[in-house]
């Protein structure tokens, strides 16, 4: 017998995508991509095809003012499902990747506050039904575009029509090669501070049990990166900005010092091995600067 009542999140995501595209609520940003190898990582670089739509998205955010909150209230046409008494799932309005979900708090909480057990309960409600890549941009320097707390989930693989192992998730082969059986470790070849931890989750695991394991790994990674503050339960912010990346199998945390390099911004997806550039000129600049060097510049340096 199932240990939980399915929320049918994937089907609801598909259905809402169709209706949101038809209504114009979902404003997808078309891209094409190429692979760029650097430091043993096959980076997925997406190049924007329709820069006008991305510019319009930025203009809309600025036009509504610094205090505008797109999640209070959220657009009903982007609503996917209720996840818990404290969280709902929405479609990402300006998505680059198909079926990109946002997990938002119903009431305002700061994007700089620590993730709570409630956040991880909502996250697991999604991940147990969708084999996805989850991430959290902890603060503006980590690439957060909104101050209202929101985790994000993108279905795996990143590139569905590509059979290569790195097409599932570019950084994953490197992480799995260094992943310990238990505890916390680092990826020795990455030239910036980071920490990884294994997860032993199963889709039949109760939400409360899975959330406790996720939170324990999160706290261990914060501590390993000298970022833990307070009791980890209250809304205390972490000691600085960071990116948190996770799948059903592992969790990865990277402290941040800069929002980007030049006009190339970096959020959690960059540390997953996926970067976005606006045009061919930026692509050439990325190739000259090297993706791994850009990640090193926006992270905290470490001796390799």
Distance CA 19, CA 277 (A): 29
Strand pairing class (41-48; 274-277): parallel
Distance CA 238, CA 173 (A): 28
157 cis-preceded (ω within 30 degrees of 0): yes
Tokens at 298, concatenated? 């926006």
Where on the phi/psi map is residue 74: left (φ > 0), alpha (ψ -120 to 50), or beta? beta
Tokens at 68, concatenated? 């505008």
Triad 136, 154, 242: Cα angle to 5°:
15
Active site residue 100: no
Distance CA 183, CA 102 (A): 29
- Please give the backbone phi and psi of residue 147, each rounded to the nearest 5 degrees, phi first: -80, -10
Q: Which of 87, 99, 150, 166 is catalytic?
A: 150
Triad 296, 231, 134: Cα angle to 5°:
45
Answer yes or no: are the C-beta atoms of 103 and 87 closer than 8 Å: yes
Which residues are catalytically annotated?
150
């Amino acid at each position: 017998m199932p240990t939980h009542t399915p929320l049918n999140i994937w089907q609801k995501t598909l259905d809402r995508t169709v209706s949101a595209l038809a209504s114009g609520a979902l404003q997808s940003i078309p891209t094409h991509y190429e692979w760029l190898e650097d430091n043993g990582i096959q980076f997925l670089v997406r190049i924007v095809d329709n820069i006008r739509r991305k510019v319009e998205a930025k203009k809309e955010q600025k036009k509504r003012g610094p205090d505008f909150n797109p999640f209070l209230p959220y657009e009903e046409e982007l609503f996917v499902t209720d996840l818990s008494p404290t969280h709902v799932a929405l479609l990402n309005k300006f998505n680059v990747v198909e079926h990109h979900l946002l997990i938002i708090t119903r009431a305002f909480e700061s994007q700089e506050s620590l993730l709570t057990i409630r956040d991880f309960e909502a996250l697991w409600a999604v991940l147990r039904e969708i084999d996805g890549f989850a991430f959290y941009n902890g603060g503006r320097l980590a690439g957060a575009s909104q101050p209202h707390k929101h985790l994000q989930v993108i279905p795996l693989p990143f590139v569905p029509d590509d059979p290569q192992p790195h097409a599932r998730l570019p950084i994953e082969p490197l992480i799995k090669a260094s992943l310990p059986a238990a505890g916390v470790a680092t990826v020795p070849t990455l030239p910036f501070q980071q920490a990884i931890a294994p997860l032993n989750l199963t889709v039949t695991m109760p939400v409360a049990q899975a959330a406790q394991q996720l939170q324990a790994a999160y706290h261990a990674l914060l501590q390993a990166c000298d970022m833990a503050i307070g009791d980890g339960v209250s809304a205390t912010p972490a000691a600085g900005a960071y990116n948190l990346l996770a799948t059903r199998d592992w969790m990865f945390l990277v402290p941040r010092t800069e929002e980007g390099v030049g006009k190339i911004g970096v959020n959690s997806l960059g540390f997953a091995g996926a970067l976005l550039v606006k045009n061919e000129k930026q692509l050439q600049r990325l190739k000259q600067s090297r993706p791994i060097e850009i990640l090193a510049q926006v992270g905290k340096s470490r001796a390799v």
